[in-house]
Structure 1
Amino acid sequence: MEGSSSESTTAPKELPSSSGSHKSSEAAANIGVAIRYWLELEPYPPGSARSLWLFVDDDWRHLDNPNVSIQVSVQEAFCECSQRLEVLVWYSGDAIKGLVVKTK
């Protein structure tokens, strides 16, 4: 439906510059580019959620219980052979609210 206010999308209407984080006017989340990652293969401590950790804006942020698709996409973005991808992260505090793997 064109022009419908009930349209939904998983992508931002406008991608922000990768030059740093800023507050989004539509949500209370910061946006930044991840420069390192750490994937827990087993949750620690036992009984806690298994998490994907991304280093964004000088701090570690986590996404609990990432699905296989997210894990593979993030790993490919950080692969030595991939100089063309980056991980853009929406976060609040140390919790990741959303992410996309995109071309640089």
Structure 2
Amino acid sequence: MLTSFSIPPDNRLAGWLSCCVCLTGLALMFADVFQLGLRRDRKVLAHLGKEPSGARVQQIGTALRLSDNAVATSLDRLTADGFLIREAGDEPLPMRTYRLAD
């Protein structure tokens, strides 16, 4: 039974076009997720710019209304890129302190 959403087996072009549309949708979704991460990173950097002595994960999360895990993801990415420095210590996640790199 054919519906308006099915592709006849003899129409390969329609099948390939459908696949392309689906893949384009997935690519746009991943691009949006990536942009959300960049916006969050920018907010974290701006917050730490106001705290020259640094701030804890929990403090940043509370100020920006983000979960500790979301903040930690941004902090890890920004530290790996050389924008931040993590203060030494083996504190649990909410108590870890980060500051802007010199």
Normalization by structure 1: what TM-score? 0.24
- Which protein is bigger by CA-based radius of gyration? 2
Which structure dedicates a bigger proportion of its chain to strand?
A: 1
Q: Which has the higher contact order (CA 8 A, sep 6+)?
A: 2
Which structure dedicates a bigger proportion of its chain to helix?
A: 2
Normalization by structure 2: what TM-score? 0.25
